Amino acid sequence: MFNEKVVLVTGGTGSFGKAFIRRILTEYTPKKVIVFSRDEFKQSEMARDFAGFENIRFFIGDVRDKDRVKRAFSHVDYVIHAAALKQVPAMEDNPTEAVKTNVIGTMNVVEAAIDCGVEKVVFLSTDKAVNPINLYGATKLTAEKIITAANTYSGNKTKFCCVRYGNVMGSRGSVIPLFRNLAERGIHEFPITDLNMTRFWITLDEAVDLVVFAITHARGGEIFIPNIPSMKITDLARAIDPSCIFKETGIRPGEKVHECLFTNGDTNTIMVDNYHAGSYRATGTFTSDKNRMLTVEEMRRILDDLE
């Protein structure tokens, strides 16, 4: 799918973007891979990390700027739309900024993709878009609707789809670096907002697998959801520091105790088993507390692989 194609990733300097781009550059022969983001310092750092690849390009721009997005999408085959404002507490305090990037930015991506004749667009969503109680989740739900609806007026020339998953292990903003930092400093009391909290968990490699699957199989309008396990936040902490104790700090504004990846009311949701093995229409409800839980030992092995 990627050989001799031009691939662009919005928010390409983020954790997912770097993992995805490295996969594409090492396992395929794309004509060109474009990193689209607004932070020139992160682009310069990434350029050093990817110095051995001749077919990577860096394009400074913001998804809020439709003209710049349209210029970047010229002659692009595939777009992975990963750019977003993601920190839940910050978005509760700055709702207009979340709307500008996550909603209007997605509208700009859709219009530019159609105008430029992009073949496929994959939008990265989140479990927080399901029955959202925070502003971040609400903007992601709105963006999902914008992406899926775009198929109705693209003339079937550009196909739009979504992938929706939970927390990414080891990504920027993950709780793992916080817990590790405390353990390294000899601090064994870990702050936990709620001792019952559970989360879906996915590795960066699995997230990349899912997007590759979506690019390969999308016909337009799907929301691809991975069949991933859950974990208890307290078990994650014990995987990092077996001797840790907990200080319960209370739920933050916009935070859920448990997350949900789909409900009975979802449409066009496709559950993907092992990413490449097959898929089926999702039915019922998929919540992080009623799911297979990773054990402390399983998480410890995964965490060891992240180091």
All structural domains of the chain? 6-166+201-226 (3.40.50.720), 175-199+229-262+286-306 (3.90.25.30)
259-263-276 Cα angle (round to 5): 85
Percentage of residues in the chain having pLDDT higher than 70: 98
Look at residue 225 and tell me whether its pLDDT is greater than 80: yes
pTM for the whole structure: 0.94
Q: Which pLDDT belongs to residue 252?
A: 86
- Backbone phi, psi, residue 4, to 5°: 65, 20
Residues listed for the chain: 307
Candidates 128, 140, 159, 232; catalytic one: 128
**How far is residue 127's CA from residue 148's CA, in Å, rounded to a whole number?**
16
Tell how strand 269-273 and strand 223-226 pair up. Answer: parallel
Q: What is the pLDDT of residue 307?
A: 67
* Known catalytic residue at 128: yes
Q: For residue 296, name the pLDDT band (cuts at 50, 70, 90).
A: very high
pLDDT at 278 over 80: no
Share of the chain above pLDDT 90, in %: 83
In this predicted structure, the answer to whether residue 5 has a pLDDT above a threshold of 90 is yes
pLDDT digits (tens, 9 = 90+) for 170-212: 676 678 888 999 999 999 999 999 999 999 999 999 999 999 9
What pLDDT, in 10s, does the model give residues 146-156?
999 999 988 87
